[in-house]
């Protein structure tokens, strides 16, 4: 197992290229199952989660290869309906094969994805949405069993206790594409990744309108064809590098990212005194955060939960008291105790982290607990005095492509060692 070692305290300077979006790629790869034709997806990041999704496609009978940022998938005429626990349990996003399998085969047996370190992650909205499209759903022996002689379009409300759901919207949208008649998804997730999936489905011959808003209209079609598609860039990776510039007081040109996907973060960084200029396709981030902020995570276009840990790390060295409230996953605060080991002063109060900015963090051995928590610990290590060792970096490898190489290129003293 590897660890990441960082000698902190060096401002980052230079330009950095953002990779393709993990969270756009995963449902798009699942959608390739909806036709027997070949599809090609470009701009795919080389990540553990992508490798897992490719394994799942293969286990379902598709041929899938990944080379130089492109995945070629050919499901062929016969695919399986059974997505096994052994694979699904390693990645929650595997649940997004449920809609495609049900749509294409009329049946799907997909292992329940189970719990997660960032808190409970139910799938009731996925199941409610598919049931509304005329599927019979049961949970048997740890598997979701979905059956439908004929999926039928319907009006589906997808709001949950914490707002809209990204992957439930994706699953219902994919199933509705091959359903008979019209489907309207109300309180759909508006995330750019949902919009990207809709673009891919439309390139396959689907009729999806309104993706990127809270109301998506889908007119069912009988068949889809293969398509070629380039995924959008990763807004969470881009946001993490913005925070890296701000926590080290550096100057980064973040290229290949769409600033409009990070409006909430950019607004908060500006409020805290970081200078940010946005251009078409890149973001210029300069200087240190100097003012505390109040942040609440919300569904898009609100502040993303996937940047909560990183902004908390940034505020831990920003003078004053910041308040970071988590409204999507109220238990997603495991990183706080590890940041505390580096000298951060953060107190949990209900679903909020009260962050008292300290002058300096000091490097320490720390344990990553999930993907974004790992990113927060790397950010803290970049700013800290001395040596930080981040253990369990396999979490980081699930979602950040070549992270230490990218950081090294912009001046960080960072490398990987065997733990």
Distance CA(146)–CA(108), nearest Å, equals 5
Tokens of 9: 């305290």
- Determine which one of 116, 139, 215, 348 is catalytic: 116
Contact call for residues 179 and 133 (beta carbons, < 8 A): yes
Task: Using CB under 6 A, list all residues that contact ligand EPZ.
Answer: 23, 26, 92-93, 121-126, 160-162, 165-168, 189, 193, 305-306, 328-329, 371-372, 399
Q: How many CA atoms lie within 13 A of 120 on its CB side?
A: 5
CA angle (213, 219, 223) in 5-degree steps? 125
Tokens of 130: 């598919």
Contact call for residues 12 and 83 (beta carbons, < 8 A): no
Nearest distance in Å: CB 11, ligand EPZ? 27
Q: Of the two residues 303 and 391, which places its CB atom closer to ligand EPZ in the complex?
A: 303
Q: Of the two residues 21 and 322, which places its CB atom closer to ligand EPZ in the complex?
A: 21
Nearest distance in Å: CB 239, ligand EPZ? 12
Contact call for residues 101 and 107 (beta carbons, < 8 A): yes
Q: Of the two residues 4 and 253, which places its CB atom closer to ligand EPZ in the complex?
A: 4
Contact call for residues 345 and 355 (beta carbons, < 8 A): yes
Distance CA(367)–CA(344), nearest Å, equals 15
Q: Of the two residues 5 and 98, which places its CB atom closer to ligand EPZ in the complex?
A: 98
Which backbone phi and psi does 222 adopt, to 5 degrees?
-80, -30
Q: Of the two residues 306 and 401, which places its CB atom closer to ligand EPZ in the complex?
A: 306
Nearest distance in Å: CB 67, ligand EPZ? 23
Distance CA(335)–CA(357), nearest Å, equals 16
Nearest distance in Å: CB 125, ligand EPZ? 3
The radius of gyration of the chain from alpha carbons, rounded to an integer in Å, stands at: 21
Report helix, strand or coil for 67.
Answer: strand
Q: Is 116 known to be catalytic? A: yes
Nearest distance in Å: CB 300, ligand EPZ? 7
Nearest distance in Å: CB 92, ligand EPZ? 6
Query: What would the DSSP string read from start to end of 325-366?
Result: E-SS-TT--THHHHHHHTT-EEEEETTEEEEE--S--B--EE
Q: Of the two residues 206 and 309, which places its CB atom closer to ligand EPZ in the complex?
A: 309
Phi/psi region, residue 265 (left: phi>0; alpha: psi -120 to 50; beta: rest), is: alpha
List, by residue number, the catalytic residues. Answer: 116
């Amino acid at each position: 197992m590897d660890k990441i070692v960082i000698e902190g305290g060096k401002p980052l300077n230079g330009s950095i290229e953002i990779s393709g979006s993990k969270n756009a790629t995963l449902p798009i790869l699942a959608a390739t199952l909806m036709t027997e034709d070949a599809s090609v997806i470009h701009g795919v990041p080389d990540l553990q989660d992508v490798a897992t999704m490719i394994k799942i496609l293969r286990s379902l009978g598709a041929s899938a290869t990944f080379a130089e940022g492109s995945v070629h998938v050919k499901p062929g005429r016969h695919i399986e309906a059974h997505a096994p626990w052994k694979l699904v349990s390693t990645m929650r996003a595997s649940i997004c094969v449920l809609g495609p399998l049900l749509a294409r085969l009329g049946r799907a047996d997909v292992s329940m994805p189970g719990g997660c370190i960032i808190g409970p992650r139910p799938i009731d909205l996925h199941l409610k949405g598919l049931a509304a499209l005329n599927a019979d759903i049961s949970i048997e022996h740890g598997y979701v069993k979905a059956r439908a002689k004929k999926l039928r379009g319907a009006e589906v409300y997808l709001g949950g206790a914490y707002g809209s759901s990204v992957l439930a919207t994706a699953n219902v949208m994919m199933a509705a594409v091959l359903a008979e008649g019209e489907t309207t998804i109300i309180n759909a997730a508006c995330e750019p990744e949902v919009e990207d999936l809709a673009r891919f489905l439309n390139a396959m011959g689907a009729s999806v309108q309104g993706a990127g808003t809270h109301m998506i209209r889908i007119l069912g079609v009988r068949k889809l064809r293969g398509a070629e598609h380039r995924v959008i860039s990763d807004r969470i990776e881009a946001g993490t590098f913005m925070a890296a510039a701000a926590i080290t007081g550096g100057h980064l040109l973040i290229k290949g990212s769409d600033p409009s996907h990070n409006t909430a973060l950019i607004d908060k960084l500006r409020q805290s005194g970081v200078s940010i200029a946005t251009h078409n396709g890149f973001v210029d981030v300069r200087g240190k955060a100097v003012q505390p902020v109040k942040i609440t995570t919300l569904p898009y276009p609100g502040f993303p939960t996937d940047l909560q840990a990183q902004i908390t790390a940034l505020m831990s060295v920003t003078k004053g008291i910041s308040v970071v409230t988590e409204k999507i996953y109220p238990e997603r605060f495991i990183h706080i105790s590890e940041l505390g080991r580096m000298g951060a002063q953060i107190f949990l109060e209900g679903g909020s982290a009260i962050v008292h900015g300290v002058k300096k963090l000091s490097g320490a051995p720390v344990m990553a607990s999930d993907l974004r928590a790992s990113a927060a610990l790397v950010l803290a290590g970049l700013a800290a005095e001395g040596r930080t060792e981040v253990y369990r970096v396999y979490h980081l490898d699930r979602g950040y492509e070549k992270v230490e190489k990218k950081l090294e290129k912009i001046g960080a003293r960072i490398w990987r060692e065997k733990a």
